[in-house]
Amino acid sequence: MIVEHALIPVGPGEEADFERAFAAARKLIESSPGFLGLTLSRGVETPRTHLLIVQWENSRMRGAGFTISPAFREWSALLHDSYQQFPVVEHFSFIA
């Protein structure tokens, strides 16, 4: 399993709009092959920062599946205007 971690900084006053857009975008990623689950959290100290954690079967499903799909283009159209800057995205594999 691969865990994708994204810190998403949204613009000032965009928090509620981003969260509404994410509710619609969520369906797009959830229907992707290899998707296992996700959580979205809002920062306590920095409420404009959201933490997205997505679990994938493997890196191939995330990279060669979702990110090149028409669903990803829809995802981007729904969410990317809310970003203050592009998210920092990293991937992790379990070691223990």
Phi/psi for 29 (5° steps) reads: -75, -35
The rounded distance, in Å, linking the Cα atoms of 30 and 52 is 13
SS3 of residue 11 by DSSP: coil
Quick one: pLDDT at residue 79? 92
Task: Assign residue 13 a region (left: φ > 0; alpha: ψ between -120 and 50; beta: otherwise).
Answer: left
pTM of this prediction exceeds 0.85: yes
Quick one: pLDDT at residue 64? 62
Q: Spell out, as residue ranges, where the chain has pLDDT lower than 50.
A: none
Phi/psi for 85 (5° steps) reads: -145, 160
Hey, what are 72's tokens? 């990803």
Q: What is the DSSP letter of 96?
A: -
